[in-house]
Amino acid sequence: MSWLPAVLLLLLLLVALGWLLHWLLIRTEGIFLGRRIVVWLYDLAAGRYDALKQFDPDTESAFVTWPLLRRLRSETGFLGRNSVSNALVLDVATGTGRLPFFLLNEPGFDGRVVGLDASAGMLAQARAKLAPFGQRAALVRQSAQALPFADAAFAAVTCLEALEFLPDDAAALGEMARVLRPGGVLLVTRRQGPEAPYFLGRCRDRDSFEALLTGLGLIDVRSQPWQVEYELVWAKRESTDFTDDTDR
Ligand SMILES: C[S@@+](CC[C@H](N)C(=O)[O-])C[C@H]1O[C@@H](n2cnc3c(N)ncnc32)[C@H](O)[C@@H]1O
């Protein structure tokens, strides 16, 4: 029986290793192993993503796309009575194209949506789903840390269920604010709930998150309950409406 302590120790080590791998690869989806691993895991899961998430069209419309349309209408000057014309929307970390798909299906939206993601697998799913919308949907494979777009290019920028997977959420949000036009709408999510502590400092509390957005020059920052795991956070880039005396 002299081998018993060694076997028990080995078992303990195996359990600890299994738990560590589960935490690194499943629970926190590779975020502590670097961006490439995160993207590789999403490439692997892409074909199952929509089946796992089971997005409900009515819920997406009620909480996400319809409120986004309402804000676009009232705050960015896309003032069609019943429609939002020509608005260009950017969805960062678009995944399988969830937000572009539901937004383009809104009868009141006749603008265009650009979806950006670093995972080729997720974008392949998005491409198939968005094909019926033709040129109104465009997809870009790129990291969210440096957006390949001009300043003030978009009427709205969205980023759902993704900030905690990015290497630097503050830098990514700074990029989103940069490409948002004055008066434009930002919609992002803040991770919360029982899983958040596993992300070891990658999920901010509400005060710190709202302060980060305010520090980026965004105004009207509002958090809104959504799911157990996420809050929706709305903000706006200040309009630069002012009277230029030299024109008088
Ligand atoms: C949980 S999914 C969310 C997808 C989509 N927004 C949704 O709500 O269904 C997270 C997405 O972030 C993407 N992602 C992770 N790291 C990224 C990075 N550094 N740059 C761009 N996208 C990234 C992944 O490929 C994945 O599609």
Query: Does the CB atom of residue 64 touch ligand 1 within 6 A?
Result: no
- Per-residue pLDDT of 33-61, as tens digits, reads 999 999 999 999 999 999 999 999 999 99
Tell me how crowded residue 51 is: count the other CB atoms within 10 A of its CB: 7
CA distance 212 to 218: 9
- The CA radius of gyration of the chain, in Å to the nearest whole number, is 21
Does residue 38 lie within any of the structural domains? yes
Does residue 155 lie within any of the structural domains? yes
Domain range for 127: 54-240
How many Å lie between the centroid of ligand 1 and the Cα of residue 40? 11
Query: Does the CB atom of residue 144 touch ligand 1 within 6 A?
Result: yes
Does residue 24 lie within any of the structural domains? yes
pLDDT of residue 201: 84
Phi, psi of 141 (to 5 degrees): -95, 115
Compute the Cα dihedral for 65, 68, 74, 78 and give only its sign. negative
Predicted TM-score (pTM) of the model is: 0.91
Quick one: tokens of 100?
């572009």
Same domain, 119 and 225: yes
CA distance 235 to 61: 19
- For the chain, percent of residues with pLDDT exceeding 70: 92
State the CATH number of the domain containing residue 211. 3.40.50.150
CA distance 78 to 183: 11
How many Å lie between the centroid of ligand 1 and the Cα of residue 93? 4
Same domain, 72 and 101: yes
Query: Does the CB atom of residue 236 touch ligand 1 within 6 A?
Result: no
- Per-residue pLDDT of 216-235, as tens digits, reads 999 999 999 999 999 999 99
Query: Does the CB atom of residue 186 touch ligand 1 within 6 A?
Result: no
pLDDT of residue 42: 97
Query: Does the CB atom of residue 187 touch ligand 1 within 6 A?
Result: no
